[in-house]
Amino acid sequence: MKKRFFLLIFLLIILTQKISGIDVIGITGKASSQQINLSINIVRPLELTINSPLAQVYYTNLINFNVTLNREGYCLYTLDSGATNITMNTTDNKTFFNSSNLNNGNYLVRFYCNDSEGHTNYTESINFIILSETPPSGGGGGGAITPTPQPQINETNKTCEPLWECTNWSECKNNKKTRTCVDKNNCGFYEERPAESEFCEEEIPIRTNWICGEWSECKADYTTEDIIKGNLFLKGKKSRTCKDEFGYYPDIIEEKKCDTRIPIITKKYSKCGKDYLDVYDLNNTFVLRIEITKEELTQININLNENETLYCDYCFDGIKNYDEDEIDCNYDEGGSCPLCEKIKDCKIKLIKGLNLISICSNLEDYSIQKVLEKIEGDYDYILEYDYDKKIYKLWKKSGTQQLKEFKKDKSYFIYYTKNETALLFNNSLYNEVIINVPEGLKTPFYPYEIKSNKLRDTEYYGLNYDYILTWDKNKKRFNIYNKRGTQEIWYINSGEGLFIFSEKGIINYTPNRI
């Protein structure tokens, strides 16, 4: 009988260890000559469900952390592989929550959870990305909290009454305040431990009560010499009056520097060894052409005929010289020589890090794998801006894939992991592309190899716009062209991506407008 008893126990141990999701806590029993009585204590593993964050891109810096256990316990989490552990709040010891203000970047959050019997779950983690237009000032992370070590449960005194003593709340920082709570009786029961962090609102300074009027027009003086020299954007000042809503302070006048534009458009260029200045009104109507014959501006020749076409003698010598972009031709209309033929190849340059690109060649297959097959394994993720939802769609090799192919009329962010390369497409360029764009921010592509000066015009290929953004791959920031302000962009190369903020309209890319 005893042999059967021990053999049965051995088989039950093997059997229960094979059952998925069950831990064997203990097996006890007794045997008599007639029967065997066994008691098997088993318990389900500590299950952890991550409710937030999800494996996605967030466009806010305030991230909520929320997890649920299948029984009572407590949880911590870390954003730096355990260097800093943050205690989570709870009201029922099953659902745990917290929030942190984080900087833009890629994050891996790992949760550490225990129940009252000492069972653990340290295996759950998730990746997420933050891409916010207004990252928090100062450091990210929202003030990590080091959790108070949990004392061991005193099995001999389960009637112990915890006596919690907490420090004063810290100052409110990044909408969060913290404190530390310790059980003076060292009971080891943490279910009713007071919260050690909570949301708060920072005090708003009294200056927010200032009410300011509209800025005045930018005021600056200009002369005829400014026009001839092409000084279209002059430094000036504008001002406004601000009043204190509650009358604590007298009215103040604020001033700031500004750029103002002369109410004409000029295009200065050299042709056949002579300097010219074409003058247009704000409707882009030709007014006159000025030939500047002396640097001292004591003599100028004026021509009222816009349609005069003159190619220089050196445009027919079979040599690339003077201001020619290629042999006997120029890239832009109005140059000294005839226009160059369009380049039939599309080249997209990539460097290590984040690149903003557009597909500048007319392809048959726009799938991500096909377009990027020459750099397979050398890129991490791709982002596409969703006009309607104002968010990015993410494609990641080993994770979320919210898009399957490139759209030929949009720009994309791509994170390249090698030092430098170029994607070369030998297909023909587009003859004509018409893009209908909605109002607001959008990401059209730029299809042509020849560089363009179109940003200086009042419209962008037929579209009335406010500003344009391109991505500086080396400085890792946007460059801006604002018709009424900052102007950091003069050319956009084929294959570069861009952002443009405009009213609803149509972009009309045609070779004769480049």
220 and 238 within one domain: yes
User: Is 186 inside any structural domain?
Assistant: yes
Q: Which of 229, 246, 261 is the last residue of a domain?
A: 261
**Residue 84's closest CA among 109, 101, 103, 66?**
109
User: Is 482 inside any structural domain?
Assistant: yes
User: Is 137 inside any structural domain?
Assistant: yes
Amino acid at 361: S
User: Is 84 inside any structural domain?
Assistant: yes
421 and 277 within one domain: no
Question: For each of the chain's 514 residues, which pLDDT tens digit applies?
Answer: 544 444 445 444 544 444 444 444 444 555 454 444 544 455 678 889 999 999 888 888 999 999 999 899 989 999 988 888 899 999 999 999 999 899 988 899 999 999 988 888 888 888 898 888 775 655 444 443 333 344 444 444 557 888 888 999 988 887 888 888 888 888 877 777 888 888 887 765 555 578 888 988 887 766 656 666 655 566 778 889 988 887 777 888 888 888 776 666 777 777 777 777 777 766 777 767 777 765 545 455 555 555 555 688 888 888 878 878 777 887 677 777 887 765 556 788 899 999 999 888 888 888 988 889 888 889 999 999 998 888 999 999 888 889 889 988 899 999 999 988 888 876 666 767 788 888 888 888 887 755 545 566 667 778 888 888 899 988 889 998 887 778 887 778 878 888 998 888 888 876 644 4
User: Is 322 inside any structural domain?
Assistant: no
Domain assignment of residue 286, given as a range? 265-308
57 and 181 within one domain: yes
Strands (E), 138-192: 164-166, 176-178, 181-183
User: Is 455 inside any structural domain?
Assistant: yes
Cα of first residue to Cα of last residue in the chain, in angstroms, is 97
φ and ψ at 391, to 5 degrees? Answer: -135, 170
Give dist(CA 476, CA 453) in Å, integer: 24
Mind spelling out the 3-state secondary structure of 104-136? CEEEEEEEEEEECCCCEECCCEEEEEECCCCCC
State the alpha helices, DSSP H only, in 243-335. Answer: none
233 and 273 within one domain: no
151 and 63 within one domain: yes
CATH code of the domain in which 89 resides = 2.60.40.10
117 and 104 within one domain: yes
Amino acid at 61: N
270 and 287 within one domain: yes
φ and ψ at 332, to 5 degrees? Answer: -100, 150
140 and 125 within one domain: yes
230: left (phi over 0), alpha (psi -120 to 50) or beta: left
The overall longest dimension of the chain from CA atoms, in Å, is: 129
Domain count, the chain: 5
Can you give the pLDDT at residue 300? 55
188 and 88 within one domain: yes
Helix or strand holding residue 396 (H, E):
strand 391-396
What are 106's two structure tokens?
């890629």
71 and 185 within one domain: yes
503 and 354 within one domain: yes
User: Is 120 inside any structural domain?
Assistant: yes
User: Is 330 inside any structural domain?
Assistant: no
Give dist(CA 34, CA 507) in Å, integer: 93
Cis peptide before 53 (omega within 30 of 0): yes
Give dist(CA 19, CA 81) in Å, integer: 32
499 and 401 within one domain: yes
